[in-house]
Amino acid sequence: MDRADESSRQEAGPPVGRPGAERHPPGLVSAAEQRPAGAESLLRQLEIARLRHAAEVADLRRQILDARKQASLGDLLGTTTHEFNNALTTILNYARLGLRHRDQPTRDKSLERILSAATRAAKITASVLGMARGGATRFEPVNLQALVEDALVLLEREMSKYRVQVEREFAPVPAVWGNPGQLQQVLLNLLVNARQAMPGGGRLILRLAHDPAAGLVDLMVRDTGCGMAPEVMRRIFEPRFTTKSGPDETGKGGCGLGLSSCREIVEVHQGRIRVESAPGKGTAITVRLPQRPTAPAEAAADAAGAGASAV
């Protein structure tokens, strides 16, 4: 019962001091007068419970994002270990060659190969660390082209094994405002899905474009694989939905969490994700992300991104 209703009833009742008027001993309050205070107390308790529930949900979502990131890192463990081992093998072999042959040309060639292999090993390490570092709500300027190249370093052997030709169509784009680890997780998911859609090989087109009017940067991952039927497209972002029978021979995919996780991360970044596909014509997935804000708005954008992560 609200105060307006209580007041209107008091004015319509018998006047105080006349026969029929309700009297209460000093210090006692009627049940009608008690109800608003009780209602306010109940509302306060409900609001506290709502805020506690919202905080618990936000914490669980952060844990889920972190768990999915760790799962993605686990998927890459076999690939990165093999790539790193290849680099170390190259370094060891050319170091032995340089020690066996004292002539300057052989030593120069050995040192060049050692430097090249060590540089590649450093890139592999940097890519994995880039994905692993950072909290779920830490936003910073992200160079998407560098992020794409780092992801391709991790998947280079896999793409070569399955005869996937990678084509880059990179226009100059500004940095976006985001979490590097989460965005790399999205990119790796899209790249692996594209590769799996082309078991017999094909073309993988990566495109970066800038929409200055909208303040957005577009990242498109397009394959020439089997494509998707309309009934599959309608469900691709549903958690646990998958068209695969299980992980492939590389141990990746099959759990139905990849694209649903991608959409959640993109929405946390206040971006959009669009899918275009047709059976036999391949699939194109475009991620649209806000570009890095100007300096005065940067702190506000960072706070907004952190807040979105907690929704």
Interval 89-147: pLDDT, tens? 889 988 988 888 889 988 898 999 899 888 878 877 776 776 666 555 578 899 999 99
Please write down the long-range contacts of 60-63, taking CB distance under 8 Å and 24 or more positions apart: 61/309, 61/310, 61/311, 62/136, 62/137, 62/309, 62/310
Please give the pLDDT value at position 150: 84
Contact present, 174 and 292 (Cβ < 8 Å): yes
Q: Residue 305 — very low, low, confident or very high, per pLDDT cuts 50/70/90?
A: very low
Please give the pLDDT value at position 154: 81
Six-digit token string for 54 = 């919202």
Q: Residue 36 — very low, low, confident or very high, per pLDDT cuts 50/70/90?
A: low
Q: Where are the domains of the chain?
A: 62-309
CA dist 87 to 73, 92, 240, Å?
A: 20, 9, 37
SS3 assignment, position 48: helix
Average pLDDT, the chain: 77
Q: Is this structure's pTM higher than 0.85?
A: no
Average pLDDT over residues 263-269: 89
Residue 198 has pLDDT above 90, yes or no: yes
Please give the pLDDT value at position 66: 67
End-to-end CA distance of the chain: 33
The CATH superfamily label for domain 62-309 reads Histidine kinase-like ATPase, C-terminal domain (3.30.565.10)
Q: Name which of 146, 141, 156 is nearest 126 in CA terms.
A: 146
Measure the CA dihedral 213/211/293/183, to 10°: 150
Residues facing residue 140 across a β-bridge = 178
Residue 172 has pLDDT above 60, yes or no: yes
Neighbours of 132 (CB within 10 A): 13
Instruction: Return the higher-pLDDT residue of 300 and 82.
Output: 82
Rg of the chain's alpha carbons, rounded to an integer? 30
